[in-house]
Structure 1
Amino acid sequence: MSNRYATTDVILIGAGIMSATLGTLLKELAPDWNITVFEKLDKAGEESSNEWNNAGTGHSALCELNYTPEKPDGSINISKAIKINEQFQVSKQFWSYLVNSNLIRNPQDFIMPLPHMSLVQGEENVAFLKKRFEALSNIPLFQGMEFSDDLEKLKKWIPLIMEGRTSNEAIAATKIDSGTDVNFGALTRMLFDHLKNQNVDINYKHQVDDIKRTSDGFWELKVKNLDSGSVQRHTAKFVFIGGGGGSLPLLQKTGIPESKHIGGFPVSGLFLVCNNPEVIAQHHAKVYGKAAVGAPPMSVPHLDSRYIDNKKTLLFGPFAGFSPKFLKNGSNFDLIGSIKPNNVLTMLAAGAKNIPLTKYLIQQLMLSKEQRIEELREFIPNAKGEDWDIVIAGQRVQVIKDTEAGGKGTLQFGTEVVSSSDGSVAALLGASPGASTAVHVMLEVIKKCFPQHLKAWEPKIKEMIPSYGVSLAENPELFQEIHTLTAQALGLADNNDKKHVNLA
């Protein structure tokens, strides 16, 4: 392949969950299209999608308090919670379609049922949690949620957290059993195995160094084979940039107007991982607290049961940090290299606006292991330092852009797609809820970039995602039907339904 030109219909940059999802969708909608993938690492799902580089939460706003902010009048804004929950339902429908069609197998290898809980302390926070519970309880998507401030009930729900707790401070939790733990690394690898069987050309250890528009409207990529050192030229009608934190530099190289005045701020993370099986066995839930003042939403503390390589483990974190790298396997020059004449004012404005965040990150960087264990003791009073190891998690690049609401240099927390006006190139930027909403986000890419095919593709999309185009929050009967079907397909059914489900 040295120094040759190759043309294909679609190029996907990055072998993470986003490219895996878009490639799988397109292969169902347009099976004759040729798809080529380039990944600079030696296998799929090794960066942001890797199971050790994210929290593994099926984000559906069941426990994440930052999705339900309190309004100035004291009421709870649940609009974002409903939106994110519906988006996760879309992901579950697509995964169920893949399982039922035998395109992927053994869903228990990537998704497991796990209660989602919110935990707060202090009278003010307890009052907030109760209002949140009351606001969500009326929505079908959150059916089955329980609230309790009764110490005896909390001891049954979260014995590890309640054991040894001597504070008289008010404490309360909500619990919902329909939550999930998702191994996005395992799912990504499954999807790429499937794509390989569909004759998708997957190239590992290939780095995209440049991307530019040709005179005939195609995109030409300069790709370096990291094993041989040879340089190849590849052209395509459509390019998707799904390189995690590495997406921003490549988007900037396209030169499209939509790439201007956008910057990125990298935030790194650490988790404490329990090495004591007796402690791990005492906890069975994802328990989310409230973020510290000045902390980014991605730093909400949580104590998570996880299933990794079919083995149960226990993680606490994340502890935020700072590195100039845009990827865990990136370069220390990533941040400096992303500053361009068209975004330098945006970046400077962001720096001025986010001094509290910078201070918070510096404080987090300075923490010793014992200080991190002290924070863990807010959740587990009897935590012992020798039971926990530190694991470095992934890098997340938060989007910085100029907005009407926030003005110049506004830091965006979330997932964002940037695409050219003609839909020939698209890039995914941002962080949480990210992977959980991958199917919804990639359907948005398809709508933006392939509008001419939508009418023909719509029946197939509805086959894969029965709720497509419909609000589940406003259609409780449809939600109940879909909830039951996806639970059965993915092995998430409750004890009353499991007799109908083959989990083998």
Structure 2
Amino acid sequence: MSNMEKKTDVILIGAGVMSATLGALLKELVPEWEIKVFEKLASAGEESSNEWNNAGTGHSALCELNYTSEKPDGSIDISKAISINEQFQVSRQFWSYLVSSNLIRNPQDFIMPIPHMSLVQGEKDVAFLKKRFEALSNHPLFQGMEYSEDSEQLKEWIPLIMEGRTSNEPLAATKIDSGTDINFGALTRMLFEHLKNKDVEVNYKHSVKDIKRTPDGSWKVKVLDNNNGRTEFHTAKFVFIGGGGGSLHLLQKTGIPESKHIGGFPVSGLFMVCKNQEVVAQHHAKVYGKAKVGAPPMSVPHLDTRYIDNQKALLFGPFAGFSPKFLKTGSNFDLISSVKPNNVFTMLAAGVKEMALTRYLIQQVVLSNEKRMEELREFIPNAKSEDWEIVVAGQRVQVIKDTANGKGTLQFGTEVVSAADGSVAALLGASPGASTAVHVMLEVLQKCFPQQMKEWEPKIKEMIPSFGMSLSKNPALFEEIQDTTSETLGLSLKALVHS
């Protein structure tokens, strides 16, 4: 058995959409760098990136109400919505570059146009949605958004949701046709095919067991080849940890100061999937409601048209659950083994602060199928139990850290943690995640390769024309980018076909 160290320039841990994106960016910027990928499962995109393990929404704040909050004076804060939308535009530009350069093909296999809608019930929420619409529809990034409280108009937009509705409570919806459904599993697999064509060495069934700093500042990665049981050692100047929920454990193994005082709280998810194609055919939109009190933001209920394996599907959820695993394929000891002397008080503080979340998760875990059907019927009054089945979605690990808001603050979002010298970086957190992968990986490049960024900037601007600029402050540029990416990704033509 040989334990000889094998040297390379870059090691990517995890074959999900984040590693795929970072690898694709680096291969355009520095094609001569040698890159190795290690993935413990048998193929790419099998955990969080898999099409059945996430909502498949191109998150751009067109319909997600948790990205717009009401200020104490009653006005609507749209700053986060603008930020999320701009980040998604970065992804669109990079995917469009890959397609137009023939580096990936058939964009319809991973991205499709679909209207994005918000739907609320009751006077208070209707008033909120109207104010939200007024704040967003005047903004260049959200042009084309429509608002209606008219039941006849809503029947046209969402016939399945309106059929059999007897409540007299006021109902309102917004609709914008520029939304997308994204199969992140298919996109991840395409990107890894592209990377293999660029001589990236992708090692499946290889589990990373340890990461240690070497005297020269490189990183030695201990890898178990699950195919033959052998241990290998690989060294690299730069390591990216993109292992989904498994990233926290590996980050802790690096021992970098930035890994201290960070914990993780796992939340699992379930979706209901419609088996009846007649029902599926009656709905064509992603419709997001409002989260229940105490629910985490990623538990906003939504009824989604999806395209999976080029077939139209209908999903409702997510229903939150609790599992101590950090990955679907993880261990029941993941949570307890992530507790260290440096983060134990951070974790305990979060437990005290997040009692409402704990109560919500307990309620969700004990939900019967009939109770889930009751929640579905709030969206589809005539839903029949026999038409729907449960699918277990992915595990998400929410970051817990000490912030200006106090010790043990639960972070809902995506977070990059990197060493001061930029030699190692890890991605933690959940939604909006994959939708903003390109923006997040550019952040990794800026944090970890600041000295190369000036040299790389012309190429980055070729791939992402808006790099370094605010699209919300450059409406003409946004319009141009929206038009060109829609054309390249096949969204404008398909949108006409489906309308």
The TM-score bracket by the shorter chain reads over 0.9
Distance 1:299 1:57, change over 3 A: same
2:438 matched residue in structure 1: 439
CA deviations on 1:298-344 (whole Å, 9 max, x unpaired) are 10000000000000000000000000000000000000000000000
Q: Spell out structure 1 runs of 4+ moving beyond 6 A.
A: 495-498
Distance 1:349 1:392, change over 3 A: same
1:462 matched residue in structure 2: 461
**In 1, Cα distance between the equivalents of 2:348 and 2:222?**
31
1:114 aligns with 2:111: no
1:424 matched residue in structure 2: 423
Please list, as runs of the form range in 1=range in 2, the aligned pairs for 1:455-494 lying within 5 A after superposition. Answer: 455-493=454-492
Structure 1 residue 4, shift from structure 2 partner: 2.5
Structure 1 residue 138, shift from structure 2 partner: 1.2
* 2:387 partner amino acid: D
**In 1, Cα distance between the equivalents of 2:495 and 2:257?**
54
1:350 matched residue in structure 2: 350
Alignment partner of 1:377: what SS? helix
- What is the aligned length? 498
* 1:86 partner amino acid: E
1:79 matched residue in structure 2: 79
Alignment partner of 2:410: what SS? strand
**In 1, Cα distance between the equivalents of 2:313 and 2:351?**
38
**In 2, Cα distance between the equivalents of 1:350 and 1:478?**
43
Please list, as runs of the form range in 1=range in 2, the aligned pairs for 1:305-384 lying within 5 A after superposition. Answer: 305-384=305-384
Contact preservation (8 Å) 1:488, 1:497 = no
1:169 matched residue in structure 2: 169
**In 1, Cα distance between the equivalents of 2:144 and 2:492?**
14
Contact preservation (8 Å) 1:57, 1:182 = yes
* 1:245 partner amino acid: G
2:57 matched residue in structure 1: 57
Structure 1 residue 227, shift from structure 2 partner: 1.4
Please list, as runs of the form range in 1=range in 2, the aligned pairs for 1:59-458 lying within 5 A after superposition. Answer: 59-404=59-404, 406-458=405-457
Contact preservation (8 Å) 2:113, 2:494 = no
Alignment partner of 2:94: what SS? helix
**In 1, Cα distance between the equivalents of 2:203 and 2:313?**
33
Contact preservation (8 Å) 2:15, 2:38 = yes
1:40 matched residue in structure 2: 40
What TM-score does the superposition give when structure 2 sets the normalisation length?
0.99
**In 1, Cα distance between the equivalents of 2:326 and 2:21?**
22
Alignment partner of 2:359: what SS? helix
Identical-pair percentage: 79
In structure 1, runs of 5+ residues without a counterpart are 499-504
Alignment partner of 1:346: what SS? helix
1:501 matched residue in structure 2: none
* 2:356 partner amino acid: P
Contact preservation (8 Å) 1:10, 1:33 = yes
Structure 1 residue 419, shift from structure 2 partner: 0.2
**In 1, Cα distance between the equivalents of 2:236 and 2:476?**
43
Distance 1:496 1:365, change over 3 A: closer
Distance 1:90 1:275, change over 3 A: same
What is the RMSD computed on CA atoms of the aligned residues?
Answer: 1.1
**In 2, Cα distance between the equivalents of 1:70 and 1:161?**
27
Distance 1:384 1:32, change over 3 A: same
Structure 1 residue 497, shift from structure 2 partner: 8.0
Structure 1 residue 494, shift from structure 2 partner: 5.3
CA deviations on 1:424-460 (whole Å, 9 max, x unpaired) are 0000000000000000000000011011111110000
**In 2, Cα distance between the equivalents of 1:225 and 1:97?**
35
* 2:213 partner amino acid: R
Alignment partner of 2:102: what SS? coil
CA deviations on 1:85-117 (whole Å, 9 max, x unpaired) are 000000000000000000000000000000000
CA deviations on 1:27-71 (whole Å, 9 max, x unpaired) are 000000000000000000000000000000000000000000111
Contact preservation (8 Å) 2:241, 2:425 = yes
CA deviations on 1:62-86 (whole Å, 9 max, x unpaired) are 0000000111110000000000000
In structure 2, runs of 5+ residues without a counterpart are none
